[in-house]
Chains A and B, each alone.
Chain A
Amino acid sequence: MASGVSGYAAISARVRAMYSDLLTPQDITRLSDAPDFPSLVSALKSTPYGKYLSGLKDNELTPRRVILQIRNRLSDSYSSVVQQAPEQTRPLVRQLFRYFEVGNLKAVLRSIQTVSSWNSEVAPWDRVREVLFPFGSFSTIPAQAMVESGSVVAAVELLRGSPYEAAMSFAMRRFSTEQNLFPLEVALDLNYWRRLWAEAKKLSGRDREMGLKIIGSLLDLNNLMWVIRYRIYHNLSEEELINYTLPFGYRVRDEDVRSIAAGADIASIISRIYPDIAHVSELLDHPESGLPKLEHLLKQNVMRQCVAAFIGDPFHIGLPLAYLLLSDFEIQDLVVLIEAKSSRLKDEAFRPLLLKTTLTH
């Protein structure tokens, strides 16, 4: 089993090379300066995303298509890291990659629920596949067959043998009585994060330390946003909030989640966990606009952890994980830009939403 210097020599070299290819805040600013969507695409072509856009004809340059193409880069990065990561860490990287498969699965299920309201001239699969993450050969779900199956029950039947079978088999009982995708989606999320955390805990030494730190930071973000949103928007009871969240993470402790679930003041808990986030109360006073801002700040906190992973000893899994997360955040910025430019949003409406350019160290 290769680990340490011997296991990481090749991958840390490769990841560092790929890291240097990430866009800088200046690049993002330059892209934000593009006057409209076509100019943005043309500016994107001169970045490392260029090769993913060059194959598109002019009439294919729709925002949705461009987003799909640039996501291919992230997919390639994951494939590359999965191939080169030391064997004992591959399950963790694969599970991290599954985040996008879970997203695809949710999109497929939502499409089945809403397909009756669609324009019947376009085949449902042709519409759905445009919004799916390009997961390539890693995919374990028969997405097309699921969409074509026409019902959620039949689609979930097709998940037999996939990593989602067990979670879905329990959740389907609730779906059949409630006819609502919420229990399925929550079950998928909980199952995903539990598996990811379990994979990180299987590691040892520095891999484990860095894996738990980076995955834990990401989990903190999700866990906090879940419990806050479920409490504020869904008015769920304490016992439901506890069952729909997770008892582990990096900085967020189970007691914090349970306190929020029990009705404690959210702002004081967040301020204690993240002293560098200011004016939390004001953000929570206006949840419609405040919660996205809070999520933005928490994401930036994860980004800082990722950037810090590149400092010091590079021979651990933290480096590839950090790179993959930073790539994902970069693509989230690009999606904001693409949607903003194609909808002709004003600068002040979208610039504060960019993660990279508003990041402070």
Chain B
Amino acid sequence: MLFPKQMSEVELIVPSKDLVAVTRALSGYGVFHQVDSANLGLEGLGQNTWQETAGAYSTLERRIQTIMQNVGLAEEYPAKPGIDTMVDLDATRPLVDRIDEDVKGVSDQLSGEKKRLELLESQLRQLEPIADVDVEVGALSKSSFMHSILGVVPAANITRLKTSLLRVPHVFFTLREDPQKPVVWILGQKSNSDVLERAAKSAYLNPLNLPEEFNGTPEQITGMLRREIESSKQRISGLEADLARLGASHKNELQRLLWDVHISRVMADAIVRFGQLRHTYVVVGWVPTEDLGDLTARLKEASREILIETMATSRSGHHSNIPVALTNNKWLKPIQDLVTTFGRPSYGELDPTLLIAMTFPILYGAMFGDLGQGLILILVGILAHNRIFMKGLQSIGLLLVYCGFFASIFGFLYGSIFGFEGHLIEEYLHFHFEPMWMSPLENILTILAFAIDAGIIILLFGYLLGLFNNIRSRDWAHFWFGHTGVVALIFYVCFLALLGGFLGDTAIAPKVAVAINSLPLPFPLLAGVFGVLVMFSGFFRNMVEGHTLIEGKGIGGFAMFLVQSFMDLFETGISMLSNTLSFVRVGAFAVAHGGLSLAIFSLAGEEPTIGFWITILIGNIFIIGFEGLIVYIQTMRLHYYEILGKFFHGGGMQFEPLKLNPSKEDA
């Protein structure tokens, strides 16, 4: 739960005779993440025939899909598809050929007829705008002094085409306004025909091609075209009915063939990435350790002579090539989505989902503390999660429930219900409801200081988690001198002590900082020493990692390095201050929540009339929708900026197991 699933590297040596059975076992259960190991094979064995086979399956699969499309069948697999062996191409092709032959004749006729209809309709569309012009169409191209171009042009090019013709005398008619294919007619002097033609061609104007036999006036031609279109449409309906009949009669066979060829293609694609030796194949991949036993048993069932070597992988060190399978827990799914939006944990790294599952709703609740509005959030969350209401929010339904729960808890602590606080509850709701802790509006400085204290504790925890991750990855350079390393942590503690000393016994002083300051340690001296270490931490990191000690010495020399180091220290100090004070917003929003409610009450007036209650209702809806969203963003910002950045790097590779049948979710 705290880390991505433990993974084991698996290396298999598979006898050629068991290749298909083993591939079936690997692909059938969705636990094997394949690594391309074709390069481990021997060279000089000739062309890998599996590549051709995979290509052939792929082509066959596309053919079946095309046939299904032609007969109007959805791409579905049989109701109970079994994981069978790979189908024999030579045996399957004739089956597909037979159905294809049945379908192709009709389908080719249909597509030919559709193209003809399209052509006829396009000719009709082109002629309709000039239907009332009493000229011989053929005469347009036979003029001695005028050059005429009639055609279809992309609508987006018309303005540009007109601009390009500004320098030559011409007449430009848009005969048919169409958002896609307008018909235009350009008429100019014969002497400018080359300019007109070049402009038309470069504007992608497709000249109208009326067959030679189309003589007569537009009206006569359109009459003939309409008759042709009518008979073409009748032929199309007949052919479509034939195809539907063919689809119904071949449905089961096509679905079974599609499934067989699909799994064969998936397996062949996998085999292409195996390393081919003389009589065996090398297969490399990753399996979640918890599934290893099951997969091993299945592999041994598939091949008695298979050699299986498994290596459990330690989580320490660098693991950018190990796929990361996160624990699937439906209750934590929305939190996991929040984390993976920021980054996918790398293999050795702590998965922060559980931590965020605790901090996110608590910080949200602290900013949005109201018993009534919290309960509404829970209700909306449950309805959204169950797709009863606001279906678009289904993915964050559970998150709303968690946030609503803590908003209700803090509502108890702050003594707030639907914005009513203190005497307002007794006056309008007629019951007694005291804050179990304090009312933020009446203890503004206390709540702000408390928020900073909470922030300091979270940040310190974040630093410690960062150190923990560095130890696990054995990244000693960053452990000591990273932005969240030991040196930075001690400097932060000194910084807190100085802050505590500076604020002393003022109401805003964070108690944690004051407590640190009371420790008998020379904090100013320590701050100076560790400040210098922070300043040169880049230098020390390079030293530990064996890199060039001073980067970019060619452009600025040592002086530039010193300036840059000082800026690093300055930036670190500013970040520590801003990171710490950033948590003030938790208290500030708790206060703002009370303030916003007061604003609603001042709008509602004092008398509990219907108008008063309507205003309170609208105000509550506004607060839940508007403030609820802003608090959500602030909570996310606190996590992305202040918390996750302290210890979480992400960059893990997604675990993508071989699967024969993609789940609906994957699809």
Hey, which chain B residues are within 8 Å of A46, CB to CB?
547
CB neighbours of A9 from chain B (8 A): 633-634, 636-637
Question: Which B residues lie within 8 Å of A244 (CB)?
Answer: 202
- Report yes or no: B629 in contact with A239, Cβ–Cβ below 8 A: no
Q: Which residues of B contact A289 (CB under 8 A)?
A: none
Judge if A55 is at the interface, Cβ distance under 8 Å. yes
Q: Residues of A contacting B159 with CB < 8 Å? A: 247
Compute how far the CA of A352 lies from the CA of B651 in the bound complex, rounded to whole angstroms.
Answer: 33
Contact B202 A243 (CB under 8 A): yes
Interface of B is mostly: helix
Contact among B164, B341, B555, B633 for A239, CB-based, below 8 A: B164
The answer to whether B195 touches A166, judged by C-beta atoms less than 8 angstroms apart, is no
The closest CB in chain B to the CB of A12 belongs to: B637
- Determine if B248 is an interface residue (Cβ-Cβ < 8 Å): no
Q: Which residues of B contact A84 (CB under 8 A)?
A: 341
- Answer yes or no: B321 CB below 8 A from chain A CBs: yes
Q: B641 interface residue, CB < 8 Å from A?
A: yes
**Which residues on B sit within 8 Å (CB–CB) of A173?**
204, 206
Bound-state Cα–Cα, A110 to B154, Å: 24
CA of A33 to CA of B204, assembled, Å: 49
The interface residues of chain B lying within 8 Å CB-to-CB of A114 are none
Are A243's CB and B51's CB within 8 A? Answer: no
Distance of A314 from chain B, by nearest CB (Å): 12
**Within B276-327, which residues are at the interface with A (CB < 8 Å)?**
318, 320-321
Chain A 68-102 interface 0/1 with B at a Cβ cutoff of 8 Å (1 = within): 00000000000010011000000000000000000
Chain A 321-343, CB-CB to B under 8 Å as 1, else 0, gives: 00000000000000000000000
Beyond A84-B341, A170-B204, A240-B198, whether A10 also contacts B637 by CB under 8 A is yes
Docked pose: A239 CA to B320 CA in angstroms = 55
CA distance A14 to B640 in the complex (A): 8
Instruction: Provide the residues of chain A in CB contact with B321, threshold 8 Å.
Output: 54-55
Residues of B within 8 A of A258 (CB): 163
Centre residue among A14, A239, A262 by max chain B CB count within 10 A: A239
Counting CB contacts under 8 A, is B160 at the interface? Answer: yes
**Is the CB of B165 closer than 8 A to any CB of chain A?**
yes
Q: How many residues on chain B are close to A (CB under 8 Å)?
A: 49
- Closest chain-B Cβ to A14's Cβ sits at a distance in Å of 7
- Residue ID in chain A nearest B209 by CB atoms: A173
- Given A54-B321, A59-B39, do A17 and B157 touch, yes or no (CB 8 Å)? no
Question: Cβ of A170 and Cβ of B206 under 8 Å apart?
Answer: yes
Contact A10 B156 (CB under 8 A): no
Chain A residue at minimum C-beta to C-beta distance from B323: A55
Q: Does A179 have its Cβ within 8 Å of any Cβ on chain B?
A: no
Q: Is A140 an interface residue (CB 8 A)?
A: no
A6 to B626, CA, bound (A): 9
Interface positions of B from 134 to 177, Cβ below 8 Å from A: 152-154, 156-157, 159-161, 163-165, 167
Bound-state Cα–Cα, A234 to B270, Å: 48
- Interface pair A30/B640, CB less than 8 Å apart: no
Which of chain A's residues has its CB closest to B196's CB?
A239
Given A17-B645, A29-B554, A174-B204, the answer on whether A243 and B640 have CB atoms closer than 8 Å is no
Q: How far apart are the CA atoms of A253 and B157 in the complex, in Å?
A: 18
B548 touches A6 (CB 8 A): no
Known: A121-B47, A166-B180. A239 touches B198 (CB 8 A): yes
Q: Does B524 have its Cβ within 8 Å of any Cβ on chain A?
A: no
Closest partner residue, chain A, to B162 (CB atom): A242
Out of B154, B204, B630, B637, name the residue touching A13 (CB < 8 Å). B637
Find out whether the CB atom of B637 lies under 8 angstroms from the CB atom of A54. Answer: no
Q: Tell me which residues across on chain B come within 8 A of A64, comparing CB atoms.
A: none
Measured between beta carbons, the chain A residues less than 8 angstroms from B180 are 166
Chain B residues, CB < 8 A from A14: 341-342, 640
Closest CB in chain A relative to B180 CB, distance in Å: 6
How many of chain A's residues touch chain B, expressed as a range? 35 or more
Whether B551 is near chain A, meaning CB under 8 Å from some CB there, is yes
Any chain A CB within 8 A of the CB of B596? Answer: no
Distance in Å: Cβ of A249 to nearest Cβ of chain B:
14
Interface string of B435-470 (1 = CB under 8 A from A): 000000000000000000000000000000000000
Task: Give min CB distance, A54 to chain B, whole Å.
Answer: 4
Of all chain A residues, which has the CB nearest B545? A46
Interface centre among A10, A145, A167, A258 (most CB of B within 10 A): A10
Known: A55-B653, A239-B202, A242-B163. A194 touches B47 (CB 8 A): no
**Which residues of chain B have C-beta atoms less than 8 A from A166's C-beta?**
154, 180
Q: Does A171 contact B (CB under 8 A)?
A: yes
Whether B636 contacts A243 by the Cβ 8 Å rule is no
Question: A30 with B551: in contact, given A9-B636, A247-B159 (CB under 8 Å)?
Answer: yes
Within 542-564 of B, Cβ neighbours of A (below 8 Å) are at 547-548, 551-552, 554-555
In the complex, whether B199 has a CB less than 8 A from a CB of chain A is: yes
Q: Would you call B116 an interface residue if the criterion is a C-beta within 8 Å of the partner chain's C-beta atoms?
A: no
Within 8 A of A (CB), among B177-221: 180, 195, 198-199, 201-204, 206
Answer whether residue B81 sits at the interface, using C-beta atoms and an 8 A cutoff: no
Known contacts A167-B154, A258-B163; is-contact A239 B199 (Cβ 8 Å): yes
- CB-defined contacts of B653 to chain A, threshold 8 Å: 51, 55
**A238-B164 in contact (CB<8A):** yes
CA distance A30 to B342 in the complex (A): 29
Q: A51 and B160 in contact (CB under 8 A), knowing A6-B633, A14-B640, A121-B47?
A: no
> A130 near B: Cβ within 8 Å?
no
For A159-170 the 0/1 string (1 means CB < 8 A from B) is 000000011001
Q: Counting CB contacts under 8 A, is A57 at the interface?
A: yes
B112 adjacent to chain A (CB < 8 Å): no
A48-71 vs B, Cβ < 8 Å mask (1 yes, 0 no) = 001100110101100000000000
Q: Give the residue name and chain of the A residue nearest to B151 (CB).
A: A173
B551 touches A239 (CB 8 A): no
Does A268 reach chain B (CB closer than 8 Å)? no
Chain B residues closer than 8 Å to A26, beta-carbon distance: 551-552, 555
Instruction: Tell me, in angstroms, the Cα distance from A60 to B35 when the chains sit together.
Output: 13
Considering the complex, give the chain B residue whose CB is closest to the CB of A166: B180
Task: Give every chain A residue within 8 A of B641 (Cβ-Cβ).
Answer: 13, 17
Interface status of A287 (Cβ within 8 A of chain B): no
B55 at the interface (CB under 8 A from A): yes
Q: Does B62 interact with chain A (Cβ within 8 Å)?
A: yes
Q: Which among B160, B636, B645 is the interface contact of A10 at CB below 8 angstroms?
A: B636
Complex CA distance for A112 and B399, rounded to whole angstroms: 51
**Nearest neighbor of B636 in chain A, beta-carbon distance:** A10
Is A260 an interface position by the 8 A CB rule? no
A183 and B630 CA atoms in complex are apart in Å by 51
CA distance A247 to B291 in the complex (A): 61
Chain A contacts for B206, CB-based, 8 A: 170, 173
Closest to B161 in A: A243
CB distance from B206 to the nearest CB of A (A): 5
Encode contact with A along B644-661: 1 for CB under 8 Å, 0 otherwise: 010000010100000000
Given A14-B342, A123-B51: A51 touches B202 (CB 8 Å cut-off): no
Cα–Cα, bound, A254→B160 (Å): 10
The reply to whether A187 and B204 form a contact with Cβ atoms under 8 Å apart is yes
Bits for A113-152, please: 1 = Cβ < 8 Å to B, else 0.
0000000010100000000000000000000010010000
Instruction: For the complex of A and B, list the 8 residue pairs with the smallest distance between their C-beta atoms, beginning with the closest.
Output: A243-B202, A54-B320, A26-B552, A239-B199, A239-B164, A242-B164, A9-B633, A240-B202
Q: Can you list 7 A-B contacts with CB-CB less than 8 angstroms, sorted by A residue number?
A: A29-B552, A29-B554, A30-B552, A55-B321, A55-B653, A191-B156, A242-B160
Known: A145-B62, A173-B206, A194-B156. 11 other contacts (CB 8 A): A6-B629, A9-B634, A9-B637, A29-B555, A30-B551, A46-B547, A167-B154, A170-B152, A173-B204, A242-B164, A243-B164
Q: CB within 8 Å of B: which residues of A?
A: 6, 9-10, 13-14, 17, 26, 29-30, 33, 46, 50-51, 54-55, 57, 59-60, 80, 83-84, 121, 123, 145, 148, 166-167, 170-171, 173-174, 183, 187, 190-191, 194, 236-240, 242-244, 246-247, 254, 258, 262
